[in-house]
Amino acid sequence: ADQLEEQSLDFPLSYASLNSCTRVPPTEAEDYSDTLRPASIAVYADMGHLTTYCSSNYSMLQAGILDSCEHRSSSMELPSLDKMLRVFNPNLVVVQSNERDDGLVDQARAIAQSIQQIDGYENSWKLIVIAATIQDGEASETRQTAVEVLGAIEELHKLLPIRTFIA
């Protein structure tokens, strides 16, 4: 039995509560991240191992069926940040990074290059989420994941210095 289907019967997942939020359209005054609203986000990207998931459920694992665990959060049926943002901005552009096994700096560079292909990207707000784990750094060095995250932030700041919110 599919756990998600069973769970959805008891606890249905819905974006209905998001639709009840007050809609405030973006304004020209939104030059700072402290005035940013969900509707202001025009481009979304995420990177790091925590932005991927395995489609296996308990029954599949018991049967010895393993998944690649390389599915992007934007491709799953469950709610994800990009789907929630799309409630407020139906024209949201979701940019995928390159392979998840690439270093965070390489993923950041690939994301920035993809965003730079979008017309008007300089004046659009971009939300880039970094959700790293120890798998995103080299295990040979203590605190390497933090070093990788900092490197990715620096690369994004260098390539996308304006209207980019990194979380």
Distance CA 90, CA 86 (A): 5
Alpha helices (H) in the chain, listed in sequence order: 3-10, 16-19, 58-62, 81-88, 104-115, 144-159
pLDDT, tens only, 84-124: 898 889 999 999 876 666 889 999 999 999 999 999 999 99
Average pLDDT, the chain: 79
Q: Is the pLDDT of residue 22 over 70?
A: no
| pLDDT level of residue 73 (50, 70, 90 thresholds) | low
pLDDT score for 1: 41
Higher pLDDT, 40 or 6: 40
